[in-house]
Amino acid sequence: MARRERLTAGIDEAGRGPLAGPVVAAAVILDPRRRIVGLKDSKQLLPDERESLARLIRARALCWAVSWAECHEIDALNILQATHLAMRRAVLGLAVCPRSILVDGDQLPQFSDIAPHCLSTRAIIKGDCSEPAISAASILAKTVRDALMRSLDVVYPGYGLAVHKGYGTADHLAALERHAPCAIHRRSFRPVGAPWGPGSVESDDS
């Protein structure tokens, strides 16, 4: 096993901005003896590159876990707190308790109650570009969420979820006007909460 001081978990999320679907978080503790070349922010990778790296991360990381918060939890808690909930669930899913935790962004969830042996936690802006463990987490979170949205597209056809992954594209807004929101749309997000009908599309300027 890796030395205890090297047990650093990187954490990142995917899906804070979409109008539909869960927000997904991943936690990864890399194995320093099994280096993975090419780790970077998932948004800087082509889909095939992400999928290839995701397979390597699952095979070579010391441990990893992916979890999420559903759309009803996002509506009940707000997107920030739901993201933190997903991150906590991902840490709880790790087979090894981390000694330190690095989170992408500028805000930290509460981890002390679920990771009692963790000595330090730190939020790092653009950490997915500078910390390999966070990069690995961003890749797992993104690939898992994309797969979930492709599956949900089969359950809720007509919105184009497999294409835009729930983001507020022009096609998605047009589908909302045609069909109104479905069970996986976030009612607390503009324009999902608009009174849908002809001519009722509300622009999202957030």
Position 196 scores a pLDDT of 52
Position 132 scores a pLDDT of 97
**Residue 68, in any domain of the structure:** yes
**Residue 20, in any domain of the structure:** yes
**Residue 206, in any domain of the structure:** no
User: Which residue range forms the structural domain that includes residue 48?
Assistant: 4-153
Query: Mind listing the pLDDT tens digit for each residue in 57-83?
Result: 999 999 999 999 999 999 999 999 999
Position 204 scores a pLDDT of 34
Query: Mind listing the pLDDT tens digit for each residue in 87-121?
Result: 999 999 999 999 999 999 999 999 999 998 899 99
**Residue 43, in any domain of the structure:** yes
- Domains: count for the chain: 1
**Residue 60, in any domain of the structure:** yes
Distance of CA 10 to the CA centre of its chain: 13
What pTM was estimated for this model as a whole?
A: 0.90
CATH of the domain at 38: 3.30.420.10
What is the average pLDDT value for the chain, to the nearest integer? 91
**Residue 85, in any domain of the structure:** yes
Position 191 scores a pLDDT of 85
Map the chain to HEC letters: CCCHHHCEEEEEEECCCCCECCEEEEEEECCCCCCCCCCCCHHHCCHHHHHHHHHHHHHHCCEEEEEEECHHHHHHHCHHHHHHHHHHHHHHCCCCCCCEEEEECCCCCCCCCCCCCCCEEEEECCHHHHCHHHHHHHHHHHHHHHHHHHHHHHHCCCCCHHHHCCCCCHHHHHHHHHHCCCCCECCCCCCCCCCCCCCCCCCCCC
Give me the percent of the chain exceeding a pLDDT of 90.
Answer: 87
Query: Mind listing the pLDDT tens digit for each residue in 2-46?
Result: 454 479 999 999 999 999 999 999 999 999 999 999 999 999 999
**Residue 139, in any domain of the structure:** yes
**Residue 192, in any domain of the structure:** no
Query: Mind listing the pLDDT tens digit for each residue in 191-203?
Result: 898 665 433 333 3
CA dist 140 and 119 (Å) reads: 25
Position 195 scores a pLDDT of 62
Give me the percent of the chain exceeding a pLDDT of 70.
Answer: 91
